[in-house]
Structure 1
Amino acid sequence: MSKTVLIIDDDSRNIFALSAVLKAKGFVTLSASDMTEAFGLLQSTEVGVILMDMMMPGMDGYEAIPRLKNESRYKDIPVIAVTAQAMSGDREKCLAAGASDYVSKPVDVDKLVGLLNDYLK
């Protein structure tokens, strides 16, 4: 399994921060600012885990995750929902959309690294 983490987020500051932290922890990262770019990367690169911002313009995570899970070549890639939506029921909504797991912003780096290590075993 690939150790590459694909970060999909429409905010370049979030991509920069997550990439910097994850690279410092030994992960290889790729990033996409929308799902069109993400699908292009997924077609050309083996990815081990996807970190998906749930609230993006165009296709948001709630629409994107089911699309990923419905394609045989992507269905087994774990998707961790990353969202500022941390209200009651948001975690369940992300999991119901097909996310493998959920972390809220601001991201608890130790929790995220633990999840990534679990999924990238």
Structure 2
Amino acid sequence: MSKRVLVVEDNELNLKLFCDLLRVHDYLPEPVRDGREAVDRARSFCPDLVIMDIQLPHVSGLDLIETLKKDETLRDIPIMAVTAFAAKGDEERIRAAGAEAYVSKPMSVTRFVQQVQALA
């Protein structure tokens, strides 16, 4: 059975790329364009992994990571942050919020897939 991956990304091209890559590697992606829906979708979809953009409109990906990690039913789901947020100290802040992995944009497709396989 395919592993389920919740993909929280507001950029349509990135969302399509991530979901296409996941499908090719036999994962079942669930796209979420609006971060405000991410926690409810995580509860209903029960993913094996969450891929989280950090720079989202309306809500910060960092806040969403913290919310997911504080939720008793969702806290054990690994989170991979994928972001253009690449200033000094950003990776540490993202990991401190609870993300198990961090991939910066522009990203290597190979690195993306390797991180997904390591976490899911």
Residues in 2 aligned to 1:43 and 1:21: alpha-carbon distance in whole angstroms: 23
Counterpart of 1:10 in structure 2: which amino acid? D
SS in 1 for 2:51: strand
What is the match of residue 86 of structure 2?
Answer: 86
What is the match of residue 33 of structure 2?
Answer: 33
- Gapped regions of structure 1 (runs ≥ 5): none
C-alpha deviations, 1:99-120, integer Å up to 9, x for none?
1110001121211211211212
What is the match of residue 21 of structure 2?
Answer: 21
C-alpha deviations, 1:81-110, integer Å up to 9, x for none?
110012222111111111111000112121
What is the match of residue 67 of structure 2?
Answer: 67
What is the match of residue 116 of structure 2?
Answer: 116
What is the match of residue 9 of structure 2?
Answer: 9
Residues in 2 aligned to 1:85 and 1:6: alpha-carbon distance in whole angstroms: 20
* TM-score calculated relative to the size of structure 1: 0.90
Distance 1:70 1:22, change over 3 A: same
Cα RMSD over matched residues? 1.6
SS in 1 for 2:82: strand
Distance 1:2 1:63, change over 3 A: farther
Q: Tell me which moved more, 39-48 or 7-16.
A: 39-48
Q: Which runs of 4+ in 1 moved over 3 A?
A: none
Residues in 1 aligned to 2:85 and 2:15: alpha-carbon distance in whole angstroms: 17
Counterpart of 1:46 in structure 2: which amino acid? C
Paired-residue identity, %: 34
Residues in 1 aligned to 2:67 and 2:46: alpha-carbon distance in whole angstroms: 18
Counterpart of 2:112 in structure 1: which amino acid? L
Residues in 1 aligned to 2:29 and 2:90: alpha-carbon distance in whole angstroms: 26
How far residue 35 of structure 1 moved from its aligned partner, in angstroms, is 2.5
User: What is the number of residues matched between the two proteins?
Assistant: 120
